[in-house]
Amino acid sequence: MAETKEKIDPEIESALSIESLEDLLKSSSFYSQEQKPVKIKDELARREKLKNEDLEQDIRLKKLTLKVLLGFLGVETITIFAFAFFQATGKFGFMLEEWSFRILISATITQIYLMLRIAVEYLFPKNKD
């Protein structure tokens, strides 16, 4: 049996050489080249800046949440007082049965109280670990 030896293209052979692989490795991101030393003061300043930006965003979100919640609760409170007024005066033919009116008023006042309590506990936590 005669063995046939194929000729390899010279360009491919040079690409597979040790030197070309070393050059490829150096140009890749896997090769650790000299890195700039990290300055501790710059890194601490960057971390503080990120922390401050996070706190500012948290405060903006809490303000928006509180404004929307208080707006909603304000409209709900005005509506329930209007219902109470119309129930008492009988204007516009508004007349609910006594038991249903009491349930409506009690449920609404309870809801307003609980929503405000939850909002205050969330927005102003006692312990911040």
Distance between CA atoms of 22 and 17, rounded to whole angstroms?
9
Q: How confident is the model at residue 1 (pLDDT cuts 50, 70, 90)?
A: very low
Residues 91-110: tens digit of each pLDDT: 788 777 888 888 988 898 89
Average pLDDT over residues 50-61: 86
The domain segmentation of the chain, as residue ranges, is 58-129
